[in-house]
């Protein structure tokens, strides 16, 4: 009898309190997500978005994602033919729901900082202003520190660090003047941890993280946003195009790269991070994320693991 009364009370409580509370929360959550989506759509539609390294991999997928979101694209690359093909590919995509725009290609080499400044001028002349700059282009590296010539370290730093910061500096004054703009840096998990045989690449990405963290603090007063994206492995040509200790092309599709996340998935994360004005995002699997925490919480253990990884890799390569 006592048990039946208790059960009845519990059912009353469930139907009068728990269920309405659950549906109410779900409704508020759905409304919140809808408002977030609408705000993001408005932010990206008609925005002038500059993407470097648009000719391949993540940059190409970002171009597709931002084009579909209705942004006015400036596609940057070294190869004018590849850029033309991408413009044609994007223009061929029919989008009946959104007003899309023909992208504007700009050809320059990021490792030549003089051409970077000219490119920024060309962009501002053609489009008037830049709303979002996505510093995506980059190259990776494979080699031991002892065998690597300083010219190789410099080449990686020019492409991954000095080029992007030169472009950022060239576009920043116009953003400050308008008190509007958003700068994105595609860094890497290797901007947070260093793994053996990646010295030049990891150094360039750590520098990227540091520079754009400083920038974020300095430009907040002008309402300019800075987003640093740190992906883990992505299925692109990065390992194929990586340079080695003597400056030659590595030319191997690494297993880690081939088994990484797809570039389209990561591009969607970039789009959402920009749309939601996130300060930083780590887009990686469990092990790289744990490695980042381990580096900060228990550095000695992390260093031991990296040293044994170096020994193992050396053994495999027989050097």
Ligand X SMILES: NC(=O)C1=CN([C@@H]2O[C@H](COP(=O)(O)OP(=O)(O)OC[C@H]3O[C@@H](n4cnc5c(N)ncnc54)[C@H](OP(=O)(O)O)[C@@H]3O)[C@@H](O)[C@H]2O)C=CC1
Ligand Y SMILES: CCCCCCCCCCCCCCCC(=O)OCC(=O)COP(=O)(O)O
Please, which residue, 168 or 188, has the CB nearer to ligand X?
A: 188
Specify the residue, 70 or 281, whose C-beta has the smaller distance to ligand X.
281
Given CA atoms 160, 161, 162, 165 in this order, what sign does their dihedral have? positive
CA proximity to 90, closest of 80, 76, 77, 100:
100
* 304 lies in the binding site for ligand Y (CB under 6 A): no
Cβ at position 288, least distance to ligand Y in Å: 4
Q: Where are the alpha helices (DSSP H) in the chain?
A: 2-13, 19-44, 57-68, 80-92, 113-127, 150-157, 163-178, 199-219, 238-241, 255-258, 263-275, 286-297, 299-317
Q: What is the number of other CB atoms lying within 10 angstroms of the CB of residue 98?
A: 14
Taking CB under 6 A as the rule, does residue 56 contact ligand Y?
A: no
Grouping H, G, I as helix, E, B as strand and the rest as coil, residue 186 is strand
Which residue is at the shortest CB distance from ligand X? 57
Pick out residues in 153-182 that bind ligand Y (CB under 6 A).
none
Q: Give the range of 77-85, 171-179, 215-223, 249-257 binding ligand Y by CB under 6 A.
A: 249-257
Q: Which long-range contacts (CB under 8 A, 24 or more apart) does 111-119 make?
A: 111/155, 111/158, 111/159, 111/162, 111/163, 112/158, 112/163, 113/158, 113/162, 113/163, 113/166, 116/163, 116/166, 116/167, 116/170, 117/166, 117/170, 119/76, 119/167
The residue (of 116 and 284) whose beta carbon lies closer to ligand Y is 284
74/110 with CB nearer ligand Y: 110
- Report the site for ligand Y in 194-223 (rule: CB under 6 A): 195, 198, 201
- Smallest gap from Cβ 180 to ligand X, in A, equals 25
Asked whether position 62 contacts ligand Y by CB under 6 A, the answer is no
- Judged by beta carbon distances under 5 to 8 A according to partner kind, the member of ligand X, ligand Y, none in contact with residue 198 is ligand Y
- SS3 of 142-156: the string is ECCCCCCCHHHHHHH
What residue ranges bind ligand X (CB under 6 A)?
A: 53, 55-59, 77-79, 109-111, 136-139, 159, 186, 188, 231, 233-234, 236-238, 241, 257, 260
- Residue 181, contacted partner among ligand Y, ligand X, none, CB below 5-8 A by kind: none
Binding-site member from 73, 76, 242, 274 for ligand Y (CB under 6 A)? 242
Among 52, 111, 135, 140, contact with ligand Y (rule: CB under 6 A): 140
- State the DSSP code for 277: T
55 binds, among ligand X, ligand Y, none (CB under 5 to 8 A by kind): ligand X
- 201 catalytic? Reply is yes
The nearer residue to ligand Y, 73 or 292, going by C-beta atoms, is 292
288 binds ligand Y per the rule CB under 6 A: yes
The item of ligand X, ligand Y, none sharing an interface with residue 103, based on CB under 5 to 8 Å by kind, is: none
290 lines the binding site for ligand Y (CB under 6 A): yes
Nearest to 75 by CA among 103, 114, 101, 113: 103
Q: CA–CA separation, 52 vs 167, rounded Å?
A: 10
* CA distances for 229 relative to 78, 111, 187, 312, angstroms: 23, 21, 6, 30
Q: How many Å apart are CA 167 and CA 135, to the nearest integer?
A: 8
Stretch that binds ligand Y, among 113-121, 127-135, 217-225, 290-298 (CB under 6 A): 290-298
The smaller minimum CB distance to ligand X, of residues 115 and 180, is found at: 115
Report the DSSP pairing between strands 72-77 and 48-51. Answer: parallel
Q: Which residues are catalytically annotated?
A: 201
Residues near ligand Y, by CB under 6 A: 140, 188-190, 195, 198, 201, 232-233, 238-239, 242, 254, 256-257, 284, 287-288, 290-291, 294, 305
């Amino acid at each position: 009898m006592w048990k039946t009364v208790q059960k009845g009370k519990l059912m009353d409580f469930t139907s009068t309190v728990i269920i309405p509370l659950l549906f109410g929360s779900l409704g508020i959550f759905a409304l919140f997500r809808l408002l977030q989506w609408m705000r993001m759509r408005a932010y990206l539609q008609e925005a002038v978005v500059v993407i470097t390294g648009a000719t391949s991999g993540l940059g190409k997928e970002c171009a597709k994602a931002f084009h579909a979101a209705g942004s006015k694209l400036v596609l940057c690359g070294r190869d004018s033919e590849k850029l033309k093909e991408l413009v044609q590919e994007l223009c061929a995509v029919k989008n009946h729901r959104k007003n899309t725009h023909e992208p504007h290609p700009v050809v320059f080499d990021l490792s030549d900082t003089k051409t970077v400044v000219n490119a920024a001028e060309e962009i501002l002349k053609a489009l008037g202003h830049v709303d979002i700059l996505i510093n995506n282009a980059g190259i990776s590296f494979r080699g031991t520190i002892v065998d690597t010539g300083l010219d190789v370290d410099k080449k990686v730093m020019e492409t991954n660090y000095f080029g992007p910061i030169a472009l950022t500096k060239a576009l920043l004054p116009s953003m400050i003047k308008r008190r509007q703009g958003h700068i994105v840096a595609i860094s890497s998990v290797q901007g947070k941890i260093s793994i053996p045989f990646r010295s030049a690449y990891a150094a360039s990405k750590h520098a990227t993280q540091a520079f754009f963290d400083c920038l974020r603090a300095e430009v907040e007063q002008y309402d300019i946003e800075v987003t640093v994206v740190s992906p883990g492995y992505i299925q692109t040509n990065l390992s194929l195009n990586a340079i080695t200790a003597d400056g030659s092309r590595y030319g191997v599709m690494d297993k880690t790269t081939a088994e990484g996340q797809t570039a389209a998935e990561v591009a969607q994360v970039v789009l959402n991070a920009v749309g939601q004005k996130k300060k930083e995002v780590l887009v990686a699997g469990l092990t790289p994320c744990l490695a980042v925490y381990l580096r900060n919480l228990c550095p000695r253990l992390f260093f031991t693991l990296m040293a044994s990884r170096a020994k193992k890799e050396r053994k495999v390569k027989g050097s």
